[in-house]
């Protein structure tokens, strides 16, 4: 298998590069950032997906069988101009056009996985069907537009699947979960309220496995379909924090009354308006923390023949080991 991974220097991308290499794939990572892992450097080419000419040249040279499109512009919910997220829209157009050119000449690309976002709908909203969109941020809307581009393109010369990763955590993670692990490790994480909020989440190495299963699955199972990707069993956030704390050997977790949390979130909103970019708590973040959402992950588990590589205990252990060696060192 010859696989191009756009955004292979990012969080999910780094893990999928490892996964694909371990299975003997020939891998090329296209990204504007150099890889997190030095050993990935030989599989990397610098490219902005907004630079169509360079993107096409690299794709024509590599001639992939499969493409996993992870590259995206992310950003804070405070960004309201959808044009700030042009790579999530024009970048999709550029990639599709380059792959059409490739298949006209060499007919190599069999299947493409396009990565969307949970935020095509507001937090807590369960869409009734694949195109039941309800975004509340410019980023989310840009991902909606990216999906629409893929769906509206007639007679594409390759099979395609759209994935929406759910609350991804694990080795090489970024915000917000790296902040969560740091807070637990340093003893200043506070669980808000006394509730046990349950939500669907996704351990990143399981998601890498799910992506690869999509590439290899029978056409009828995945072509022109949309999957939420993550772990099938929802996680109780308090229990999750306790498991992480235990593995880290961190101080006991404290609890914050919900009334106090709401007050601090309002103060955080004001501080953010005044220019503090990384305010620890805002109303937006508080809502994300306390909103429960449980997705039906059985469709993607079925594609994976009913089993994922890592359970919650092993996933936390692997993440803590990474955290100790790569973050705390």
DSSP assignment string, 7-72: TTTSHHHHHHHHHHHHTT-EEEEEESS--SSGGGGGGEEE--TT-HHHHHHHHHHH--SEEEE---
The more confidently predicted of residues 55 and 256 is 55
pLDDT of 188 reads 87
CA 51 to chain centroid, in Å, comes to 23
Q: Which residues pair with 236 in a beta bridge?
A: 198
pLDDT of 228 reads 97
pLDDT of 239 reads 92
Q: Which residues pair with 169 in a beta bridge?
A: 203
The confidence band for 278, taking pLDDT boundaries of 50, 70 and 90, is confident
Question: Which of 95-109, 180-194, 255-269 ranks highest by mean pLDDT?
Answer: 95-109
pLDDT above 80 for 289: no
Structural contact between residues 3 and 28, judged by C-beta atoms closer than 8 angstroms: yes
The proportion of the chain whose per-residue pLDDT surpasses 70, expressed as a percent, equals 99
127-136, 140-149, 248-257, range with the lowest pLDDT: 248-257
pLDDT of 315 reads 98
120-129, 152-161, 276-285, range with the lowest pLDDT: 276-285
| Mean pLDDT of the chain, nearest integer | 93
pLDDT above 70 for 76: no
15-19, 64-68, 260-264, 316-320, range with the lowest pLDDT: 260-264
Please state, in angstroms and rounded to a whole number, the distance separating the CA atoms of residues 265 and 256: 12
7-21, 46-60, 138-152, 282-296, range with the lowest pLDDT: 282-296
Average pLDDT score over residue span 7-23: 97
The confidence band for 177, taking pLDDT boundaries of 50, 70 and 90, is confident
112-116, 186-190, 288-292, range with the lowest pLDDT: 288-292
- Tens-digit pLDDT profile for residues 213-232: 999 999 999 999 999 999 99
pLDDT of 329 reads 62
Strand 26-31 with 168-169, pairing: unpaired
The confidence band for 158, taking pLDDT boundaries of 50, 70 and 90, is very high
pLDDT above 70 for 95: yes
């Amino acid at each position: 298998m010859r696989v191009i991974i756009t955004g292979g220097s990012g969080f999910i991308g780094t893990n999928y590069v490892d996964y694909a290499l371990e299975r003997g794939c020939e891998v090329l990572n296209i990204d504007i950032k150099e890889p997190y892992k030095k050993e990935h450097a030989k599989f990397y080419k610098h490219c902005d997906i907004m630079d169509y000419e360079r993107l096409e040249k690299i794709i024509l040279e590599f001639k992939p069988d499969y493409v996993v499109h992870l590259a995206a512009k992310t950003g804070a919910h405070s960004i309201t101009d959808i044009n700030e997220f042009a790579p999530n829209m024009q970048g999709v157009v550029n990639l599709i056009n380059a792959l059409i050119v490739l298949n006209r000449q060499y007919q190599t690309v069999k299947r493409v996985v396009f990565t969307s976002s949970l935020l095509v709908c507001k937090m807590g909203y369960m869409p009734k069907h694949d195109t039941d969109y309800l975004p509340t941020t410019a980023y989310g809307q840009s991902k909606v537009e990216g999906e629409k581009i893929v769906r509206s393109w007639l007679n594409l010369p390759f099979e395609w699947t759209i994935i929406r990763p759910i609350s991804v955590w694990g080795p090489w993670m970024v915000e917000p979960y790296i902040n969560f692990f740091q807070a637990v490790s340093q003893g200043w994480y506070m669980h808000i309220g006394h509730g046990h909020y349950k939500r669907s989440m996704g351990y990143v190495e399981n998601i890498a496995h799910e992506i690869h299963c999509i590439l290899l699955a029978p056409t009828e199972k995945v072509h022109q379909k949309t999957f939420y990707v993550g772990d099938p069993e929802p996680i109780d956030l308090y229990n999750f924090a306790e498991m992480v704390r235990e593995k880290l050997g961190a101080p006991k977790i404290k609890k914050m009354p919900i009334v106090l949390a709401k007050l601090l979130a309002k103060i955080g909103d004001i501080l953010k308006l005044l220019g503090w970019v990384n305010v620890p708590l805002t109303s937006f973040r508080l809502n994300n923390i306390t909103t429960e959402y449980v997705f039906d992950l059985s469709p993607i588990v079925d594609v994976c023949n009913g089993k994922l590589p890592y359970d919650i205990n092993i996933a936390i252990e692997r993440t803590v080991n990474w955290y100790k060696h790569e973050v705390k060192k």
